[in-house]
Chains A and B, each alone.
Chain A
Amino acid sequence: MSILIDKLFSYATKFVAIAVLLLVAWIFTILFQNSIDSIEAFGFDFLTETKWAPNLEKFGALPAIYGSVVSTFLAMVLAVPLAIGVAIFLSELAPAKLKSPVGVSIELLAAIPSVIYGMWGLFYFVPIVRDIFGGIGISMLTAGIVLSIMILPFMAAVTRDAMNTTPDILKESAYALGGTKWDVIKDIIIPYAKAGIIGSFILALGRAIGETMAVTFVMGNVHKISFDLTEPATSIPVTLANEFTEADTSLYYSSLFELSLFLLVISFTIISIAKFYFLRRQRAA
């Protein structure tokens, strides 16, 4: 009897573990199957075509891809220096009394759902962008900024954690040679924690590119490639969030599924690079 339970339990655990893998394979398969219409209709042109016109049954993903790339790039450009600054503050500069409360609040803010950032962006940031840069305020620029603020806590917290892995004795050795704080940070801490820091930036990038709610409120879902950042734009997740319930033809659906598949493949790749190339090596060291 107890041998039977033993066996059943071990099989049950193994079954669920394998099911997780099958589930992921299933997700890819379903997304692919549902994309077939669109793949057959447009082939590779899907990714390079600039026109997205549901009423004409014409679907080109380039505006959404462009929007995803540009908004994510903006977010990274703004968030990386801030995150490094906050991480330096938290790990090296802040007095002991401030370190822990500020650090914990940053971590808690990383847990706030992205829909809240989006809502805040819509009501409080859109008007500011409108006043400063003109336009309607709903724009690529707003999306990039709100996205950067959303990923900032996560980035700052993991960068700080990476910096904190530097042994004290190593830092002290550099101070003992007459180094300043900044000397120690740039010559010792950053080289030491490099893999971890870069890995966490790429991971943040992977998250930002798939982020939906923080940008949906403020981007506008306009399928147009414009080099003016104050114009409304769209991104892959924004298109999905806005149009999935509106799709009325099978080609429209299929195009949205192909967008989902494309997004999943891109995120998977970026996150894998972060996890396996940078963060794995750091763990081994």
Chain B
Amino acid sequence: MTHTQKRIITNNIVMILSALSAIIGIGFLFWILGVLVLNGIDALSWTIFTQEGAPPGYEESGLKHALIGQLFIVGIATVVGVPLGILAGTYLSEYGQMSKLAQTVRDISDIMMSAPSIVIGAFVYAIVVAPMGHFSGWAGSIALTIIMLPIILRTTDDMLQLVPSTLREAAFALGASKYKVITQIVYRGAKAGILTGVLLGVARVAGETAPLLFTSFNDNFLNTDMSEPMASLTVTMYNYATSPYEDWQKLGWAAAFILSMFILSLNIIGRLFLLKKKGK
């Protein structure tokens, strides 16, 4: 066998292995998706949206409490985290630029984006839950805000930097102040990108479970008082799935399905925004 023949055989083997690992990897992932969709659709019904939690075996149980709790916790985190993140990102791109301070904020944010979220839960426990003496929706929102902040900050920074500097210069040349240039020209130019960043940031924290376990904790009934323990889809899913009751497990799948669809939709919408922008 010549050397070239050997090379061709090696090549074919590697290519088969590569295709195989792609099939295995993708197979696993579709298995998970399939399980999620089948179990989720099976468990979906109207009562899920209209009923609160109930003891196991009770027919009329739903996820209304978890859905509303999730909305509160994530909603407040978004309302607080997004403006703060955009402000900080604006500092990095428009004021700090390549300064030491700006670079440090960038680096630290990059690290925080991949840091273990359960640790944030421990931190919020120490500063909010312990002094208050009990778990609360607020504590959950604060934990999610902290997780969301670096994501929004870094995408805003990146997206603002993509706005051509000639645009800023043209506005300055007309006598606009920096504040006006940023809010009226730069933000407008980076709108789609920032929006995508926000969507992805919300999608990311909406799936967080670990930092909520001991901040917002859980509540099997509907509660709209943020200073009390509050249900979330993720923690509910965890509790129900690990319970021995089949009807609770079923509710867990429904929660998993609703949450995943929400997160996937945000991701897809975010991508479409960016695509549309590129297309223009």
**Would A237 and B210 count as touching, CB distance under 8 A?**
yes
Check: A6 CB closer than 8 A to any chain B CB.
yes
Partner of B104, one of A21, A93, A237: A21
**Would B263 and A3 count as touching, CB distance under 8 A?**
no
CA distance A21 to B82 in the complex (A): 17
Give how many B residues have a beta carbon under 8 Å from the other chain's beta carbons.
92
B101 nearest CB across to chain A (Å): 7
Asked whether A180 and B18 contact (CB < 8 A) given A113-B234, A267-B115, the answer is: no
- Contact digits for B197-224, partner A, Cβ 8 Å, 1 yes 0 no: 0001001101111100110010000000
- Among B7-15, B59-67, B68-76, B165-173, the stretch in contact with A: B7-15
- Contact digits for A215-242, partner B, Cβ 8 Å, 1 yes 0 no: 0110000000000000000000100110
CA distance A102 to B210 in the complex (A): 30
Check: B245 CB closer than 8 A to any chain A CB.
no
CA distance A244 to B116 in the complex (A): 15
DSSP majority for the B interface?
A: helix
Check: B51 CB closer than 8 A to any chain A CB.
no
Check: A77 CB closer than 8 A to any chain B CB.
no
**Would B213 and A241 count as touching, CB distance under 8 A?**
yes
Partner of B26, one of A86, A112, A182, A203: A86
Check: A13 CB closer than 8 A to any chain B CB.
yes
**Would A106 and B7 count as touching, CB distance under 8 A?**
no
Check: B17 CB closer than 8 A to any chain A CB.
yes
- In this complex, which of A82, A116, A244 has the most chain B Cβ atoms within 10 angstroms of its Cβ? A116
CA distance A118 to B8 in the complex (A): 42
Check: A41 CB closer than 8 A to any chain B CB.
no
- Contact digits for B97-111, partner A, Cβ 8 Å, 1 yes 0 no: 000011011011111
Partner of B208, one of A82, A113, A116, A276: A113
Asked whether A2 and B179 contact (CB < 8 A) given A17-B92, A120-B35, A267-B116, the answer is: yes
- Contact digits for B227-256, partner A, Cβ 8 Å, 1 yes 0 no: 000000010011001100000010011001
Residues of A within 8 A of B149 (CB): 20, 23
**Would A105 and B95 count as touching, CB distance under 8 A?**
no
Asked whether A152 and B25 contact (CB < 8 A) given A24-B108, A210-B116, the answer is: yes
A51 nearest CB across to chain B (Å): 22
Check: A282 CB closer than 8 A to any chain B CB.
no
Residues of A within 8 A of B161 (CB): none
Closest residue of A by beta carbon distance from B120? A27
B236 nearest CB across to chain A (Å): 11
**Would B104 and A82 count as touching, CB distance under 8 A?**
no
B99 nearest CB across to chain A (Å): 10
**Would B238 and A115 count as touching, CB distance under 8 A?**
yes
Check: B192 CB closer than 8 A to any chain A CB.
no
Check: A192 CB closer than 8 A to any chain B CB.
no
**Would A86 and B25 count as touching, CB distance under 8 A?**
yes
Partner of B22, one of A24, A86, A114, A271: A86
Q: Which residues on A are within 8 Å of B, measured CB to CB?
A: 2-3, 5-6, 9-10, 12-14, 16-21, 23-24, 26-27, 30-31, 33-34, 81-86, 88-90, 93-94, 102, 104-106, 108-109, 111-120, 122-124, 149, 152-153, 156, 178, 180-183, 185, 203, 206-207, 209-213, 216-217, 237, 240-241, 244-245, 256-257, 260, 263-264, 267-268, 271-272, 275-276
